[in-house]
Structure 1
Amino acid sequence: MPSDAPVPGAFDRGLLAPVAVGQDALVSDEAVLGALVGAELGLVRAWAAVGALPRADADEMGAAWGGHPDARAARSRAAGIDAAELAEAAVAGGNPVIPLVGLLKQTLPERLRPWVHRGATSQDILDTALMLVARDAVDAVLASLAEAEQHLAAFAAEHRDTVAAARTLAQHAVPTTVGLRAAGWLSGLGRASTRLRQLTLPAQLGGAAGTRASFRELGGDAAAALPAHYAEALGLDDAGMVWHTSRWPVTELADALVQATDALGKLAGDVVTLSRTEIGELSAGEGGGSSAMPQKNNPVAAVLIRSAALRAPQLAATLHLCAALAEDERPAGAWHAEWPTLRELLRLTLGASAHAAVLSAALRVDLAAVARNLALTHGLILAERLSIVLTPVIGADRVAGLVAAAGAGGDVAGLLRDMPETAGLDIDGLLDPAGYTGDAAVAVERMIGEEHP
């Protein structure tokens, strides 16, 4: 072997995708292989459920293939089939199901072999397997999001009344609270979780061109119930219709995953900004150092989450393009392009949500930095309030003069006290940022109460 030849083994261990390292086992080739075997076993169980195959024979086939189709550990063993060898064999037919069927038949006695893949087409098994993988991945994402939401709810409650500078278009705007900002993060994660929980992840069983003619031919009228039993055996939804070229299960899944990474990206982006050295309002525990700058304490978890959030939308766009180009009764290439794209989108969401659970638990506020930044503009943070309250009292021109004085570091409170027209005003209260946070506290309480009663 030449010295510069690649070392045999896994192609992608996450060396260039650190956001997913340690979090992507559920979407590995082994997991997909296990799901493919599970999908084939689910079909065997369905034939038994409609009375076409003795249950004892179905159990024998299940035992040969690692147990119940939804047994994750058993499916990962995948009847002793090697994922790398199957991948090589898949090239000839363009998908891994074709060689898999032959390998599965070799594990069985001759009398049971006709029941392997009975009536199905490769797309039935592969689509179903990807839905099995997606279901497991979505469950893991939901668990990570729930953990992050719990941490953010506690953080929002703790800082409900911590007044900070809101920023619009990168500039100080009006006062807000750290708690309200966190409630916004929480709202985004909560909506994403709701959408993920509401997904329909269906089994696929249509036969060669979606007519299910093969099942009717093989099983008679009893085969009409086969798709429902198939979905039930696998713990998936029954879509009712065949979705070989109506790819809404894939695009809806993709959109829900991107909604999650969007919300995670918003959280991470704010953490990156607010932890800047010159801002310093937030920290997220011990960060990562630099190969050249030993003083660095980088917000690595937030950085990794952002890397996923930046990539995810274009993966979903690819899946929508594939759906739009799903011609005839089975797409030529568009279907094939979905597989790695969906897997990578699941992988990124798994990694981003896992890092978010850690990040949200580590968030800390530097109260001194928050107060320092709030006071940076010498009262200009309250310019909107001064305009609303004082324009009817002293006129717009004199309010503009006060704002200019504040911008120059002037004593706005002193100037106001020198004006006869303001004698009845609570000047200190007027210039207190805590008095101009509107419904922030109420919104935090509502958010925490609705999402985390």
Structure 2
Amino acid sequence: MMSAGSAGSTGPDGLFSGMFARGGAAAEVTDAAWLAAMLDVEAALARAQAGLGLVPREAAEAVGAACDPELFDLAEIGRRAAGSANPVVPLVAALREQVRGDLRRYVHHGATSQDVNDTAAMLVARRALAQILGDLRTAADACARLAGEHRDTVMAGRTVLQQAVPITFGLKAAGWLTALHRSHARLAALRLPVQYGGAAGTLSVLGERGHEVPPRLAAELELAAPILPWHTDRTPVAELACALGVTAGVLGKIATDVKLLAQTEVAEAAEPSAPGRGGSSAMPHKRNPVGAVSVLACVQRVPGLVASVLAGMLAEHERAAGPWQAEWETAGELLRLTGSAASWLGELLEGLTVDAARMRANLHLTRGLPMAENVVVRLGGTPQARSAVDAACARAVEEGLSLREALLAGPGADLSPEDLDTALDPARALGSAGAFVDRALEHSREDT
């Protein structure tokens, strides 16, 4: 009997859930989802052992029937967990009460609390990752569409927040696309193993057959089978945390680009609009980039959580006293926040509008200065050519001239008017931008 508030503050109905619990991953990491995963592990363990003849099939059936989350008071288990620093202890006690007396001894057979908690964590992660991977695919598909549509849309490339040389918006979107694909591949390749080692990793309760159980348990839960118990080898959780951290960084980078492009003074891209979206409590005219803001609010919290998981790798001997316990909510937070950010970004990119005219207008704000490098190349690329164009750029800035006007009074006089105009045309100085976009799109199609 779960209480109405059993989903907890991290669930889909919390005050801040609109920003931090968006998308399908949030529902997979609630307290209720953890409880369900723990019970799934207990039921699968009994089935695996019954398949090996280590417990009666009748016991496995009884345990499986009892592993119904509706039969358990989540809040009460949480309160009782304080006495053992572990929710599995009161859960197993409550589970045994649901099983017929003569079969109770087969509940949690040969297992320790960490076996159930760790395996449940991997199960929760697998279920949440399925949602995250779907949202990443949505975002990647949107990037592929933007890259294709704007393959030749010229805009200013910006380095250190200053206009650099011309690029295309398609190239920018292709860069987002390839980063998303790498994150997707990294998460999809994670190996999430079951845990079953008993009191100290020997499974001595099962005599010499304990090692036969993990592969069967892994098959039951569709998780990986470990070589041996990993109670204090926290590599699987650390790898999960790091992969989520990298993914969050990719999502945040894209959101940062969008929020900068959406600035009033830039206005080269805009998020989807809808009644009430992006509004301000004080200023009626505002259209805030709420999607980018929400992505960044989520991912801002991720690095510290990753660091917490990595610090927990310093586990003592055969069972950690504190570092392991610190992982539980931390891993859930990582999955929820990264999932929320991925969901926000997919929606943002699907509705992103691009203003090609504004991009070209902004490129011309500096009156040709981003083309200075191309002029140097046209003049032979020598140190003397570079020095002469540097001087022309300085004069253009000081006297309010266009680069063309400044060049005509100096090194540009060595070029014909046609060559000078070609050198100053952004669309003719894009190098391999188009080829890179095509390559990214081809790779994207191959991965689909």
State the TM-score, normalized to the length of structure 1.
0.91
Q: Which residue of 2 aligns with 1:329?
A: 318
- Number of corresponding residues: 431
Deviations 1:304-330 (A, max 9, x none): 10111111111001000011x211111
Q: Which residue of 2 aligns with 1:338?
A: 327
Shift of 1:259: 1.1
- After TM superposition, where is structure 1 displaced by more than 6 Å over at least 4 residues in a row? none
Report SS of the residue matched to 2:157: strand
Deviations 1:171-192 (A, max 9, x none): 1111111011111111111100
Determine whether 1:447 maps to 2:436: no
Aligned pair in 2 of structure 1 residues 22, 432: CA closer, same or farther (>3 Å)?
closer
Deviations 1:262-311 (A, max 9, x none): 11001100001110000000101114110001111111111110111111
Alignment of 1:241-260 (within 5 A): 241-260=228-247
Determine whether 1:152 maps to 2:154: no
Determine whether 1:223 maps to 2:210: yes
Separation of aligned partners in 1, 2:386 and 2:130: 57
Report SS of the residue matched to 1:335: coil
Aligned pair in 2 of structure 1 residues 97, 424: CA closer, same or farther (>3 Å)?
same
Deviations 1:327-381 (A, max 9, x none): 1111111111111111111110111111111011011111221011100111101
Alignment of 1:24-63 (within 5 A): 24-63=26-65
Deviations 1:135-179 (A, max 9, x none): 001111001001111111001100010010011111111111101
Determine whether 1:295 maps to 2:285: yes
Separation of aligned partners in 2, 1:377 and 1:210: 67
Q: Structure 1, unaligned stretches of length 5 or more?
A: 1-6, 67-77
Report SS of the residue matched to 1:164: strand
Alignment of 1:14-163 (within 5 A): 14-16=14-16, 18-23=18-23, 24-66=26-68, 78-163=69-154
Q: Which residue of 2 aligns with 1:4?
A: none
Q: Which residue of 1 aligns with 2:297?
A: 307
Identity %: 42
Separation of aligned partners in 2, 1:191 and 1:412: 41
Shift of 1:110: 1.1
Q: Structure 2, unaligned stretches of length 5 or more?
A: none
Q: What amino acid maps onto 1:402 in structure 2? A: A
State the TM-score, normalized to the length of structure 2.
0.92
Are the equivalent residues in 1 in contact too, given 2:122–2:192 (CA < 8 A)? yes
Q: Which residue of 1 aligns with 2:187?
A: 196
Q: What amino acid maps onto 2:215 in structure 1? A: A
Aligned pair in 2 of structure 1 residues 384, 245: CA closer, same or farther (>3 Å)?
same
Shift of 1:401: 3.4
Q: What amino acid maps onto 1:344 in structure 2? A: E
> In angstroms, what is the RMSD of aligned CA positions?
2.0
Separation of aligned partners in 2, 1:436 and 1:112: 77
Q: 2:226 aligns with which of 215, 233, 239?
A: 239
Are the equivalent residues in 2 in contact too, given 1:150–1:452 (CA < 8 A)? no
Separation of aligned partners in 1, 2:433 and 2:148: 12
Separation of aligned partners in 1, 2:67 and 2:389: 79
Separation of aligned partners in 2, 1:411 and 1:352: 43
Q: Which residue of 1 aligns with 2:267?
A: 280
Are the equivalent residues in 2 in contact too, given 1:264–1:353 (CA < 8 A)? yes
Shift of 1:233: 1.1
Q: 2:424 aligns with which of 422, 427, 431?
A: 431
Are the equivalent residues in 2 in contact too, given 1:50–1:223 (CA < 8 A)? no
Aligned pair in 2 of structure 1 residues 222, 243: CA closer, same or farther (>3 Å)?
closer
Separation of aligned partners in 2, 1:175 and 1:334: 50
Report SS of the residue matched to 1:176: strand
Separation of aligned partners in 2, 1:414 and 1:326: 68
